[in-house]
Structure 1
Amino acid sequence: METKLYEIADQYQQALNELMNPDLPPDVVEDTLEALSGEISVKAWNIAAALLHMEGEAELIRQAEERMSRRRRALETRAAGLRRYLKVQLERINIREIRSPQFIIKVKQNPPKVILDDESAVPGAFKREESIIHIDKNGIKQALLAGRTVQGAHLEQETRLDIS
C-alpha cells in the first residue's frame, strides 16, 4: 500500500521532533529525514503534475463553455429575429392563430406595461429610494498598510502554491 503525502509529512515532522532527543544519534535522524524528503519530493511532483493536468483540462472546458455560450447567444438572437418576423407578418395580414398537428401559433396580447415619458414628472408617491453602500477595500488596504487603524477591518496575508 502506498504511503499518503500527509502520512509522510507526519513522519517527517516526527523525525524533526526526534532531533531534539539528545540520545538519538544525529546520523540516524539525518538518514530518516533524507529518505522522507525523497518520498515527499516524488509525491509532491506527482501531485503537482496532476494539478497542472486538471487546471489545463479545466481551461479547455472553460474555452469550450465560452464557444458554446457564443453559439447559444447567436441561436437565441436568430430565433428572436425569426419570432419577430413571424409576428410582424401575421399581424400585417391580420391572422391571430394558425393550428397544426405539431403546435398552435398565436399572436396574443401582452399585459399592459408602464412607459415612463418623463421620470422627473412622476409623483413622489410612486418613487422609492434605494441606498447601496460599497466598501472601498482597496482604500482600507492602503490605510492599513500605511499603519492606520480601520475599525472592523484587518489585513491577512495567506500563502499559495505556485507551480512553475
Structure 2
Amino acid sequence: MAANIQDVIMLVGDSLTQRGWEQGGFAQLLAERYVRKLDVINRGLGGYQTDWAIPICEQIFAKQDEQHHVRNVKLLTIWYGANDAAPAPNTRHVPRDRYKANLSHLIKMVKTPTSAYYSPETRIILITPPPVNEKQRGNPESPRVFETTRSRQGSR
C-alpha cells in the first residue's frame, strides 16, 4: 500500500521557532489550521544565528534531484535575528550587513533557478525578531539589546 504524502510548511529559525510547538505557539496553531492539508515541520534551533543556519539549511532543504521523492515545501518561514542581534563580542553576534547577506543567501537557495535547492512552488515568509524591552527583561547577561535588535527589524 502506498502512503499518501502530504505537502508541508517548514519553519526554520532560532529558539523562537523551536518554541513554536509550545501551547498556543505559532507552529501548533499552523498545524491546527492546516490539519489534513499541510504538515508542519519545525526546524527551529535554539541559540542559532544566520551564519550557522546556512550549513544547516543545506542539510535540511531537499535538492532539486531529490524533490520528487520528498514532500513539497509549500511555505517556508525564516525567523532568525534574535541571536544575530547579540551585542559584540558575543559569539552569536552577526553584523547587520552579514545578517542581511545571510538572509538573502537563504532566500536565493530556494528561489534561484540555478540553485541546487531551487523550489519554485515554495513561498517564503521572513519574520524579524520581536522588539526587546531591556528594562522589563532585567537580565544584564541577556544576549539581546534593543538597539541591535531594532537594526534587524525590516532588514532585507
TM-score, length-scaled by structure 1: 0.18
Q: Computing the radius of gyration over CA atoms, which structure comes out larger, 1 or 2?
A: 1
TM-score, length-scaled by structure 2: 0.18
